[in-house]
Amino acid sequence: MHRIIIIGGGFGGLCAAQSMKKLPVQIALIDRRNFHLFQPLLYQVATGWLSPANIASTLRAVLRYQKNVRVLLAEVTDIDAQQHKVIFAGGELGYDTLIVATGSSHHYFGHDEWAQFAPGLKTIEDATEMRRRIFCAFEAAERETDAAKIRAWLTFTIVGGGPTGVELAGALADIANKTLTHDFRSIDPAAARILLIEASDRILSAYPEELSSKAESFLNDLGISVQTHTTVTELRAGVVAVRRGDTPEIIPCQTVLWAAGVRASHLGTALATRGVATLDRSGRVIVQEDFSIADHPEIFVIGDLASYTPRGGKPLPGIAPVAQQAGRYVAQVIGSRLTGKSLRQFRYRDRGSMAIVGRATAIADLGSVHLAGFIAWLAWLFVHLVQLVEFENRVLVLVQWGWFYFRRSRAARLITGDRFKL
Amino acid sequence: MHRIIIIGGGFGGLCAAQSMKKLPVQIALIDRRNFHLFQPLLYQVATGWLSPANIASTLRAVLRYQKNVRVLLAEVTDIDAQQHKVIFAGGELGYDTLIVATGSSHHYFGHDEWAQFAPGLKTIEDATEMRRRIFCAFEAAERETDAAKIRAWLTFTIVGGGPTGVELAGALADIANKTLTHDFRSIDPAAARILLIEASDRILSAYPEELSSKAESFLNDLGISVQTHTTVTELRAGVVAVRRGDTPEIIPCQTVLWAAGVRASHLGTALATRGVATLDRSGRVIVQEDFSIADHPEIFVIGDLASYTPRGGKPLPGIAPVAQQAGRYVAQVIGSRLTGKSLRQFRYRDRGSMAIVGRATAIADLGSVHLAGFIAWLAWLFVHLVQLVEFENRVLVLVQWGWFYFRRSRAARLITGDRFKL
């Protein structure tokens, strides 16, 4: 039986596995986590709205009835493309066809020491750590008596004006302005200062300019200070140093959230080191038209780790729909090789993109149609709700969204992990 | 204004605070966590059924509209009864009346080194750690090829046959027999061996004998091996050593869950060291008829930390209803002191107790009425559901219980924290 290994159970890898349901193959899906994570909603965990389990689906549960898939919980450390083997701690496994879909993580532009001051948002643990810092900041402010220190605790800097940064900023404003009203006795949570820092000339730069500027004005209405042309030059405990144009500024600030850089998974580097793959400037693996690597038709790379440029087009962005469509296509490529049937070329179908900007506001770029405001928010809700893998999670998320909408409640704002470590 | 400090936002402390809503006092509720935890359902978090946030309610949210309460997130380290001050890291606070309600934690009968091999179940972090170990054990068994090692990974030992131990055993049996069916390709989860170890002559010894033996036969029906008269003599990695009567036995077992000893909070010891309080054999503070300490009418101790023996009666057990009734009574004592009104004596109203034994089975001791089986389970569900503090949590828990009942699903079985650390 043809042996397929898929590394990574994210949008790309899971979709590839599910699309091969009827193929006479033997699939091993390897992931270091036991769940598929619905990353677009991770910021809602970080801001105490949803619980981790609401956006995570156990890979085994999702694939339990697909008998040609075996799930393996392991962290892959290397790929031996000559011997057709995948190496992980405590074992190795051979393949006939390999699909690498290990995605990306955040990075700090060469300043790894910033990680301790500014957590990123890629994993469940990142999200609960962000949640801990956000809600601890208000607690610390409530206990503090020095006005300048209170101000630093109530200042939140979000680095990066992409969708994640914008969503975090909007959620933070809602926490400060609505969720925490009546909760404190010494401080006024609504006095919190929220800064959204973006290096380029506008936030949400992947969207049309018109939507960017609408999003910025929505954020301004929420009291968020959007600072474009601004880069972080230093982070240390309690201080953010930025440069706005040519003007340096020091911001006393205890809570920094990182939503800026993205670095491709280390398996791309592992493949490049072995001379198997070529990387682009961002460390992503350059793939061919069918997502395989040059000279290695048996190795496919999909999702955020892949650098795919359609003929005569722009490189595809690192978003879930691209990964899912690539996963489905690679499954078809494998199927067509097994049956000898021919296959149409891959063509990315862009169904548009959306970002949340505040409580009941969003922007949506649906190609010819641009939406902004409440209607875009409804569209966002619908699209994200139906995409959750498990029906149980859909119901739970719907209940919590409803509660949130009508009561501004954020029931999942637990400070866990390091307890009260300020 | 009369200044009251309550240490601990558990059942006792929260109830005391809420019962003083209308008193002209100034209350500070100090807790090291930012939430009230509904501990009776903690085992459902440990077994992947509910999410932590479902059984935790932010103290600030619960008390937001009670303007005479101020919540302070801090870990109290000492109490200065002479100066009427509570000391915590980074500060101190004076009181006119103090209510200590810091509860208990698990302990290992002088074998603190066992903690690493056998997590207990008192905090959210304990529960997610237990969850990690339980689901990691099945993952490790799936990866293993050696039959003896697989057997050790599929052996689960629960130490302590009280309600928590019985509930954990029943939930584990359900995970092995139902939840994980179809999930694995190499192992049969239903082959898991579950041992429930109890030192005394029967499990659930606080219940009538008839219900104990019914519970034991329910557990046997689920395939659980109940071993009474059995004590743990040693725990080390992969091995549990027990003594059954006079017979020692070595059990190869990778997962041990601790549901045995309970130790009173360290603040009791702090009070005793200062000569303020007298402790009983379990380290609990001996209190008078009105829950105050002898010679210190301004200090009350309630909940699991208190050792209260009604006149001519047995000591009250360390359960939520006792703590809640004590909290309510102490609030009345304080109110009567302020107004000079007299107060009836405290009388514990025992409304009965219940324990879950498996999926849809429970036992209930309602005094004159003893229930066992499905009807007791329905009663258990109802009682626990209405006691959840927040309505949103009630809805979420109800949805998840329904799903669980009909589909045996356990959506919250994430392996988080130390990732895949076996």
* Interface contact A143-B74, CB threshold 8 A: yes
Q: What angle do CA A403, A405, A407 make, to 5 degrees?
A: 60
Considering only the beta carbons, identify the residue of B393, B407, B417 that sits closest to A411.
B393
Average pLDDT in the A37-51 region?
Answer: 93
Is residue A247 domain-shared with residue A286, that is, in the same domain? no
Residue in A with minimal Cα distance to B404: A392
A58 with B399: Cβ contact below 8 A:
no
Same domain, A91 and A226: no
Q: How far is A185 from chain B (nearest CA, A)?
A: 6
Q: State the CATH number of the domain containing residue B314.
A: 3.50.50.60
Stronger pLDDT, B396 or A307, i.e. the higher one:
A307
Q: B202, B228, B260 — which closes off a domain?
A: B260
Residue B386 lies in a domain: no
Subunit contact A54:B51, Cβ cutoff 8 A = yes
**Is pLDDT at A46 greater than 90 in this prediction?**
yes
Residue A129's identity, in one-letter code, is: E
Residues B160 and B275 in one domain: no
Highest mean pLDDT among A259-263, A412-416, B126-130: B126-130
Q: Cβ separation of B411 and A395 shorter than 8 Å?
A: no
In a domain, B91, yes or no: yes
What pLDDT shows up at residue A420?
47
Assigned domain for A166 exists: yes
Are A184 and A159 members of one domain?
Answer: yes
List the structure tokens of A75: 């962290």
Residue B421: predicted pLDDT: 52
Asked, for residue A55, whether it belongs to a domain, the answer is: no
HSE-CB for A174 with a 13 A CA cutoff = 24
Q: Is residue B359 part of a domain?
A: no
Per-residue model confidence as pLDDT tens digits over A166-214: 999 999 999 999 999 999 999 999 999 999 999 999 999 999 999 999 9
The number of folded domains in chain B is 2
Q: Considering only CB atoms, which chain A residues are within 8 Å of B413?
A: 34, 53, 58
pLDDT reading at A421 higher than 70: no
| Domain-terminating residue out of B260, B295, B326 | B260
**CB spacing of B409 vs A61 below 8 angstroms:** yes
Q: Do A185 and B53 touch (CB under 8 A)?
A: no
Contacts for B331-338 with beta carbons within 8 Å, 24 or more apart?
B331/B15, B331/B16, B331/B19, B331/B20, B331/B23, B332/B19, B333/B290, B333/B291, B333/B292, B333/B300, B334/B2, B334/B4, B334/B20, B334/B23, B334/B25, B334/B97, B335/B20, B335/B23, B338/B2, B338/B23, B338/B24, B338/B25
B18: left (phi over 0), alpha (psi -120 to 50) or beta: alpha
Whether residues A240 and A332 share a domain: the answer is no
Q: Give contacts of B51 with chain A, Cβ < 8 Å.
A: 51-54, 412
Domain identity same for A146 and A245:
yes
Confidence at A416, pLDDT banded by 50, 70, 90: confident
Mean pLDDT of chain A: 93
pLDDT of residue B419: 47
The token pair that represents B238 in the structure block: 């992969």
10-residue stretch averages of pLDDT, chain B, 422 residues long: 97 97 97 94 93 93 95 95 94 97 91 93 94 96 95 98 96 94 95 97 95 96 97 96 95 97 91 95 94 97 96 91 97 96 93 88 92 92 84 82 76 72 50
CB contact under 8 A, B73 and A420: yes
Task: Report how far residue B261's alpha carbon sits from residue B158's, in angstroms, rounded to the nearest whole number.
Answer: 12
Do B216 and B117 fall into the same domain?
Answer: yes
Strands A35-37 and A230-236: unpaired
Q: Residue B33: list chain A partners with CB under 8 A.
A: 415, 419-420
* DSSP letter (8 states) at residue B123: S
Active site residues of A: 167
> Measuring CA to CA, which residue among B252, B296, B254, B251 is closest to residue B277?
B296
Name every chain A residue with its beta carbon within 8 A of the beta carbon of B75.
419-420
Q: Are A34 and B411 within 8 A, CB to CB?
A: no
Tell me which residue of A195, A209, A162, A168 sits closest to A372, measured CA to CA: A209
Pairing mode of beta strands A247-252, A239-244: antiparallel
Question: Which among B34, B399, B416 has the least Cβ separation from residue A124?
Answer: B416
The label of the residue with tokens 């020091």 reads A250
Q: Is-contact B46 B130, C-beta < 8 A?
A: yes
Q: Which chain A residues contact residue B88 at CB under 8 A?
A: none
Q: Using a CB-CB distance cutoff of 8 angstroms, which residues of chain B are in contact with residue A75?
A: 419-420
CATH code (residue A235): 3.50.50.100
The boundaries of the domain holding residue B295 are: 2-32+74-103+265-339
Higher pLDDT, A381 or B298: B298
Burial class (CB within 10 angstroms; exposed 0-12, middle 13-18, buried 19+) of B241:
middle
d(CA A116, CA A414): 20
Across the A:B interface, residue pairs with CB atoms under 8 Å apart total 140
**What is the per-residue pLDDT for A28?**
98
Whether residue B135 is found in the same domain as residue B244: yes
Q: pLDDT digit string (tens) for A320-364?
A: 999 999 999 999 999 999 999 999 999 999 988 999 998 889 999
Minimal-distance CA residue of chain B relative to A36? B414
Tell me the pLDDT tens digit for each residue of A98-132: 999 999 988 898 899 999 999 999 999 999 999 99
Tokens of A144: 């503090």
Q: Which of B144, B167, B198, B216 is catalytic?
A: B167
What are the residues facing B360 on neighbouring strands? none
Least CB-CB distance to B416: which of A125, A136, A139?
A125
Q: Tens digit of pLDDT for each residue in B170-212?
A: 999 999 999 999 999 999 999 999 999 999 999 999 999 999 9
ipTM topping 0.95: no
Shared-domain flag, residues A212 and A301: no
Pairing of strands A239-244, A230-236: antiparallel
Last residue of a domain, one of B339, B365, B385: B339
